[in-house]
Structure 1
Amino acid sequence: MNTTLRQRSALLAAAGTALVLSLTACQGDSDTKSSSAPTTSATVASTPAAGEGTGTSGTTAPAGSARSAGPNGAADSADASAGKSGANGEQVTASTPVCTARDVRVTAATQDGPPYTHIVLTARNSSGHSCRLAGFPHVQLLESHKQDVPAVAKSKPATPVVLEAGAPAYALVRVSDGGVDEENEPVSAFSVVLEGDSTVIAVTAPGSEGIAADPAKALTGYWTPELRNGADDF
């Protein structure tokens, strides 16, 4: 009887030891798998938002820096501060005044030989300061014809005309077609009005006998620093 009890006790002890070893092994496997599994990070790499740039050093540009410049970057800002360049190279700014009748002296001369179909108007800056000569001269050749001579669009210069002190600008005016059957009238003087000023400037017609003008054929060009072939061919 005692022998049987001892055998059972030995079997139970051996079974307990095996169970402990099994549990220990399982725990070790679990720890090993847990430690070898990749760790998920909560940090997300930031991506530059739309409209933000990245500098050459790899840092993100400050928010709003792209909006501080114009569509072409710093070049637009520089152009905006400097203003446009006038036809004679001088910078045109908001402070450049428009030339008025008090700023310029307007004279007329015939162009080419007879028949004299065109005259050239010269507006010379006599003010002592720079001014902007806008548009074209508003010319009325005859007292009986109160409409302005139409302007030729192709003669308009690409840049504003800015006259320095003493500098001239020109405008070509066609007064007739030179035909013998035209309804021409003699003109010894005519009127010119500058854009931006309502003052009427009386201009003496060139020649001792003046000019022959047909208002139906008359055309005028824009003010320009120089007469240009093609643009002033009308």
Structure 2
Amino acid sequence: MTALFTRSTMLAVAGTALALSLTACQSGEDDNAAATSPTSATATVSDGASAAATVTSSAGSTGAGTSSGAADSSTSNDSSGRQTSTSTPVCAAADVTITAAKQDGPPYTHLVLTAKNTSGHSCRLAGFPHVQLLESHKQDVSPVAKSKPAAPVVLSAGAPAYALLKVSDGGTDEDNEPVSAFSVTLEGDSSVIAVSAPGSDGIAADPAQALVGYWTPELRNGADDF
């Protein structure tokens, strides 16, 4: 009886020890699994960061492309604006009315030619007026280069432009001849425009001393230019 009890007790103790051992092993495996889990999670986060970096890089490239496109559009608009201004048609004789008035006198040495756009649309007044003062002198009056404006003179409907015309050195001179009207032609149009000289007696002109300025959008002082 005592031997049987002792044997049963030993078997029970052995079973308990085996159960504890198995439990410890399972716990160890769970601990190992738990220890390896963060490594796997870290790899996942790393892969996600790489993907995020790739997306960010792509977005950055797309943004740069958009910026470049905006700059091209601005350049295109600027270029288009310039084409619009340079494509304005040149004023023809039928587009303007030209009048003459005295300036800087007495003695009156300069006339102001005013060309008013009466066409109802914009036009570009090119160069200078080609003036012939006397029937006996068929040469155009020489232009003064320094009076040329920096930009083209574009006239909107109803707007004026001006050109200065020196007709003599002033005073009484035997070379001066009376002029009651003279002719003007515009660049780009061979039509002759007859312009009446100011004053009831007209003007005294000396073709040898005559000079003409370029068309300008503002009225200038003739004595300051030539």
TM-score range, shorter chain: 0.5 to 0.7
> 2:49: which partner in 1?
none
Cα deviation for residue 232 of structure 1 reads 5.2
Measured on the aligned residues, the alpha-carbon RMSD in Å equals 2.9
Cα deviation for residue 229 of structure 1 reads 5.0
Could you tell me how far apart the structure 1 residues matched to 2:119 and 2:90 are? 12
Is 1:218 the equivalent of 2:217? no
Cα deviation for residue 123 of structure 1 reads 0.3
Match of 1:92 among 63, 78, 85: 85
Give me the TM-score of the superposition, normalised by structure 1. Answer: 0.64
Size of the aligned set, in residue pairs, is 168
Q: Secondary structure at the match of 1:200?
A: strand
Contact 1:170–1:223 (Cα < 8 Å) also in 2: yes
Could you tell me how far apart the structure 1 residues matched to 2:150 and 2:223 are? 11
User: Residues 155-234 of structure 1 correspond to what in structure 2 (within 5 A)?
Assistant: 155-181=147-173, 183-229=175-221, 233-234=225-226
Contact 1:182–1:214 (Cα < 8 Å) also in 2: no
What is the percentage of aligned positions where both structures have the same residue? 75
79 and 102 in structure 1: CA distance in 2 versus 1, 3 angstrom threshold: same
Q: Secondary structure at the match of 2:141?
A: coil
Could you tell me how far apart the structure 2 residues matched to 1:165 and 1:174 are? 28
User: Residues 1-234 of structure 1 correspond to what in structure 2 (within 5 A)?
Assistant: 57=60, 76-83=75-82, 92-94=85-87, 96-181=88-173, 183-229=175-221, 233-234=225-226
Cα deviation for residue 100 of structure 1 reads 0.6
Could you tell me how far apart the structure 1 residues matched to 2:223 and 2:85 are? 23
Could you tell me how far apart the structure 1 residues matched to 2:93 and 2:105 are? 30
State the Cα deviation string for residues 139-167 of structure 1 (Å, max 9, x = none): 00000000000101111111111111110
Cα deviation for residue 78 of structure 1 reads 3.0
Could you tell me how far apart the structure 2 residues matched to 1:205 and 1:180 are? 18
Could you tell me how far apart the structure 2 residues matched to 1:189 and 1:217 are? 18
Give me the TM-score of the superposition, normalised by structure 2. Answer: 0.66
Could you tell me how far apart the structure 2 residues matched to 1:185 and 1:119 are? 15
Q: Secondary structure at the match of 1:77?
A: helix
Cα deviation for residue 73 of structure 1 reads 6.4
Which residue identity lines up with residue 83 of structure 1 in the other structure? R
Cα deviation for residue 210 of structure 1 reads 0.3
Cα deviation for residue 233 of structure 1 reads 1.9
Cα deviation for residue 76 of structure 1 reads 4.3
Moved over 6 A (4+): none
216 and 231 in structure 1: CA distance in 2 versus 1, 3 angstrom threshold: closer
Contact 1:155–1:232 (Cα < 8 Å) also in 2: no
Contact 2:146–2:225 (Cα < 8 Å) also in 1: no
> 1:20: which partner in 2?
none
Could you tell me how far apart the structure 1 residues matched to 2:160 and 2:94 are? 15
Could you tell me how far apart the structure 2 residues matched to 1:230 and 1:197 are? 26
Could you tell me how far apart the structure 1 residues matched to 2:179 and 2:128 are? 21
